């Protein structure tokens, strides 16, 4: 069996540990020859790399594992490059969330003004990274889940129109499917969803039972009404995530047609959501106090002991598992179904062809084959056309260095929605981002 070479860009991410454990756990189904972590921040990556050295020596001794800040070392000879960079780090995520909230608007990692600010940073860093990658690994598959994925996907589509080995993915639709399976008391792999939307803005029109073909959505609606909605891994989640999932109940009561993605809450209830977020302690603060400190504490402990022994976290990491399964689908040409971000080209019939949409696709060695959704109803179409327009205008602003287009993007975004506020927010974010953004004229 062929063994694969994999690089993780963003080796210092709080998600990397989950990947290292999952690669070790899945070594028989997706065997690796070489695994390299890459990060521009050597200090942040180092403890995670040292943890990897210890863990793989015990659990995966034949694996050639290393970590580096050198792009050549990182990319050369790679089959798959997993991209999870966070342009500007968690400190800038904090700014993205705090600045809009200080003006009464939603501050969120990927939605609204904060998401657009992050989008500008990510477009810059992602495009530079892909040029580096293509210099050293022209044929590697790039699996991108760096955020904001919708904006990044649009920018990469434009900058690399002929590159068919860049795949944009998000784990949230699958997280919702997994959560639904917990509610139904079944295995999530037995569910066969139909989904449409943009990244972090979509709906499940059907959740079929893969074996019987029954649409379980009516049942899901009834159970949610009675019991609410929980993430599959609720026991490992912070309160803010439990609230976000719990809000699915409210959305289903108001808009019972489809099961929403959890992110829809920001777009459908912007005022309510903004008034319930704490402008001084947002999700970025919670992540830094929680997951970030937990991850680095775990590394420090293992490094100090010099061995893992029986301390192997058995909890499944759904996010890492999904991304590895995506690589497997390509490597083994399985044509398995995933919800992926692809150019529309008729998948959602009444949306423009060049929108980057999120739909169910079959995935194999030649990339994703999207499954047609048909026409979507006016309500959803209206919401999505508005959002895709905001995203496209933001990417225009990025490439054209246009303040005017950025102001249009901000004004059009449902979570800003007012030109005067848009200008104030844009100016504050330009200042906060400095040269992490292109200069807008």
Q: What is each CA distance from 49 to 40, 69, 96, 101, 193, in whole angstroms?
A: 13, 12, 29, 36, 37
**287 interface partner picked from ligand G6P, Mn ion, none, CB below 5 to 8 A per type:** ligand G6P
Closest separation in Å from C-beta 319 to Mn ion = 9
Taking CB atoms, the residue at the shortest distance from Mn ion is 170
Closest separation in Å from C-beta 141 to ligand G6P = 20
How many helices (H) does the chain have, and how many strands (E)? 18, 12
Which are the catalytic amino acids? 171, 263
Q: Is the dihedral of CA 380, 381, 387, 391 positive or negative?
A: positive
Closest separation in Å from C-beta 251 to ligand G6P = 17
Question: Which residue lies nearer to ligand G6P by CB, 172 or 411?
Answer: 172
**39 interface partner picked from Mn ion, ligand G6P, none, CB below 5 to 8 A per type:** none
Packing angle of the helix pair 42-59, 16-25 (nearest 10 deg)? 20
Taking CB atoms, the residue at the shortest distance from ligand G6P is 172
* Residue 360 and residue 338 in contact, taking contact as beta carbons nearer than 8 Å: yes
Question: Which residue lies nearer to ligand G6P by CB, 25 or 283?
Answer: 283
* Residue 410 and residue 387 in contact, taking contact as beta carbons nearer than 8 Å: no
Per CB under 6 A, residues contacting ligand G6P are: 109, 147, 170-172, 283, 287
Closest separation in Å from C-beta 99 to ligand G6P = 17
Question: Which residue lies nearer to Mn ion by CB, 151 or 426?
Answer: 151
Question: Which residue lies nearer to Mn ion by CB, 302 or 360?
Answer: 360
**283 interface partner picked from ligand G6P, Mn ion, none, CB below 5 to 8 A per type:** ligand G6P
197 contacts: CB under 8 Å, gap ≥ 6: 203, 261, 357, 358, 359, 380, 384
Closest separation in Å from C-beta 297 to Mn ion = 26
CA angle 255, 261, 267 (to 5 degrees): 70
- Which tokens go with 427? 């100016």
Per CB under 5 A, residues contacting Mn ion are: 170, 172
Question: Which residue lies nearer to Mn ion by CB, 130 or 170?
Answer: 170
b/e per residue, 170-200, with b = 16+ CB within 10 A? bbbbbbbbbbbbebbeeebeebbbbbbbbbb
Helix or strand (DSSP H, E) at 65: strand 64-68
Strand pairing class (191-198; 201-209): antiparallel
């Amino acid at each position: 069996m062929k063994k694969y070479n994999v690089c993780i860009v963003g080796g210092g991410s709080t998600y990397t540990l989950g990947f290292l454990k999952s690669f070790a756990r899945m070594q028989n189904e997706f065997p690796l020859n070489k695994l390299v972590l890459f990060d521009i921040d050597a200090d942040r990556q180092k403890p995670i790399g040292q943890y990897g050295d210890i863990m793989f020596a015990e659990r995966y001794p034949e694996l050639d594992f290393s970590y580096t800040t050198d792009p050549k070392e990182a990319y050369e000879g790679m089959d798959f490059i997993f991209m999870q960079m966070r342009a500007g780090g968690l400190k800038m995520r904090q700014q993205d969330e705090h600045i809009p909230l200080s003006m009464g608007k939603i501050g969120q990692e990927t939605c609204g003004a904060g998401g657009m600010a992050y989008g500008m940073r990510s477009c810059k860093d992602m495009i530079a990274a892909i040029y580096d990658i293509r210099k050293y690994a022209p044929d590697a598959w790039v699996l991108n889940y760096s955020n904001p994925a919708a904006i990044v996907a649009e920018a990469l589509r434009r900058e690399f129109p002929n590159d068919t080995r860049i795949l944009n993915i998000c784990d949230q639709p699958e997280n919702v499917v997994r959560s639904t399976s917990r509610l139904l008391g079944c295995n999530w792999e037995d569910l066969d969803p139909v989904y449409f939307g943009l990244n972090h803005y979509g709906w499940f029109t059907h959740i079929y039972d893969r074996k019987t073909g029954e649409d379980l959505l009516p049942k899901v609606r009834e159970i949610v009404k009675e019991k609410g909605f929980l993430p599959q891994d609720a026991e490992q989640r912070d309160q803010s995530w439990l609230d976000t999932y719990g809000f699915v109940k409210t959305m289903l009561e108001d808009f019972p047609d489809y099961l929403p993605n959890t992110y829809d809450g920001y777009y459908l209830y912007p005022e309510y959501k903004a008034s319930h977020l704490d402008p001084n302690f947002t999700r970025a603060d919670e992540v830094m106090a929680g997951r970030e400190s937990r991850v680095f504490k775990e590394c420090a402990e293992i490094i100090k002991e010099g061995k893992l022994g029986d301390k192997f976290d058995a909890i499944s990491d759904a996010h890492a598992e999904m991304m590895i399964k995506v690589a497997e689908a390509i490597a083994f040409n399985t044509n398995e179904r995933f919800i992926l971000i692809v150019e529309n080209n008729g998948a959602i019939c009444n949306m423009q062809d060049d929108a980057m949409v999120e739909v169910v696709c079959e995935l194999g060695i030649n990339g994703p084959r999207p499954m047609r959704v048909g026409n979507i109803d006016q309500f959803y179409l209206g919401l999505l056309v508005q959002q895709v327009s905001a995203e496209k205008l933001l990417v225009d602003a990025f490439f054209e260095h246009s303040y005017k287009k950025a102001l249009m993007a901000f004004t059009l975004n449902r979570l800003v929605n007012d030109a005067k506020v848009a200008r104030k927010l844009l100016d504050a974010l330009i200042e906060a981002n400095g040269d992490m953004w292109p200069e807008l004229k």
